[in-house]
């Protein structure tokens, strides 16, 4: 399953044939001090994502003692369809906007792995069009929500292979990890296993996020 995840992601350069997308309004969850919003990778199993989302959430629970922590799994196909990342982009933005309106004091940690990093990139205004399983931007977090985003954690980010990265408003709050040889985020990388080893970076990522709350 893990090898399929990476090889399938490599088989498609996303962004072509984008359809008109719509999504129902997101329903706000109970308020917490911090909410981790996770976009999983292509075909990734797990509650928030076996390779990244789940271990980062567990690590962050240990770092934010004295604060309540909740999570949200971005609702999108995480498959190889041309509109998959765009559907995730729309759902993430709708959810965070709804949650921020319902819980004015809540902070957010945005987490994206592989295709999920494309979802987060798009949501903060960095287009993943042309990247592996990427898409054009269909929605962005509004300026009123931006101060509520404490940290952005990206793993195996496909736009890195295009020579792009997060710049602008969110740059100082972003940790963008690309393992050496990871073919999804490193142009010319050939180590498939590198793309599947980001569980080892969960603690460092949680430390980064906790330090920015």
Confidence of residue 18 (pLDDT cuts 50, 70, 90): very low
pLDDT in tens, 72-131: 999 999 999 999 999 999 999 999 999 999 999 999 999 999 999 999 999 999 999 999
- 33 counts as catalytic: no
Q: pLDDT value at position 85?
A: 98
Interatomic CA distance for residues 181 and 69, integer angstroms: 33
Prediction pTM value: 0.88
- 182 counts as catalytic: yes
H/E/C letters for each residue in the chain? CHHHHHHHHHCCECCCCCCCCCCCCCCCCCCCCEEEEEECCCCCCCCCCCCCHHHHHHHHHHHCCCCCEEEEECCCCCCCCCCHHHHHHHHHHHHHHHHHHHCCCCEEEEEEECHHHHHHHHHCCCCCCCCECCCCCCCCCCCCCHHHEEEEEEECCHHHHHCCCCCHHHHHHEEEECCCCCCCCCCCCCCHHHHHCHHHHHHHHHHHHHCCC
Q: pLDDT value at position 4?
A: 36
Q: pLDDT value at position 29?
A: 59
Average pLDDT over residues 134-156: 98
pLDDT in tens, 57-68: 999 999 998 899
From the number of C-beta atoms within 10 Å of its C-beta (0-12, 13-18, 19+), residue 101 rates as exposed
Residue of 54, 91, 121, 182 marked catalytic: 182
Picking from 104, 123, 103, 98, the residue whose alpha carbon sits closest to that of residue 38 is 123
Average pLDDT over residues 174-186: 97
**Residue whose tokens read 């999504």:** 23
Average pLDDT over residues 136-159: 98
Residue of 91, 128, 195, 201 marked catalytic: 195
Phi (first) and psi of residue 139, to 5 degrees: -160, 150
For 130: left if phi > 0, alpha if psi spans -120 to 50, otherwise beta; the answer is: left
Residue of 84, 114, 128, 135 marked catalytic: 114
- 114 counts as catalytic: yes
């Amino acid at each position: 399953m893990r090898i399929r995840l990476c090889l399938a992601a490599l088989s498609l350069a996303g962004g072509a044939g984008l359809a008109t997308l719509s999504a129902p309004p997101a329903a706000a969850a109970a308020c917490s001090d911090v909410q981790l919003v996770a976009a999983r990778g292509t075909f990734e199993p797990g509650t928030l994502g076996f390779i990244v989302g789940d271990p980062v959430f567990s690590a962050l629970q240990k770092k934010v003692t004295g604060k309540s922590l909740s999570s949200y799994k971005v609702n999108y196909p995480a498959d190889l369809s041309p509109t998959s990342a765009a559907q995730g982009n729309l759902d993430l933005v709708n959810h965070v906007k709804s949650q921020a309106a319902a819980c004015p004091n809540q902070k957010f940690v945005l987490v994206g792995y592989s295709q999920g990093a494309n979802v987060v990139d798009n949501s903060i205004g960095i287009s993943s069009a042309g990247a592996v399983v990427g898409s054009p931007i269909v929605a962005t977090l509004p300026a009123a929500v931006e101060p509520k985003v404490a940290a952005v954690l990206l793993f195996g980010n496909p736009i890195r292979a295009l020579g792009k990265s997060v710049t602008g408003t969110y740059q100082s709050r972003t940790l963008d990890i690309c393992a050496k040889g990871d073919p999804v985020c490193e142009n010319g990388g050939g180590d498939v296993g590198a793309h599947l080893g980001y569980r080892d970076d969960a603690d460092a990522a949680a430390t980064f996020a906790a330090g920015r709350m």
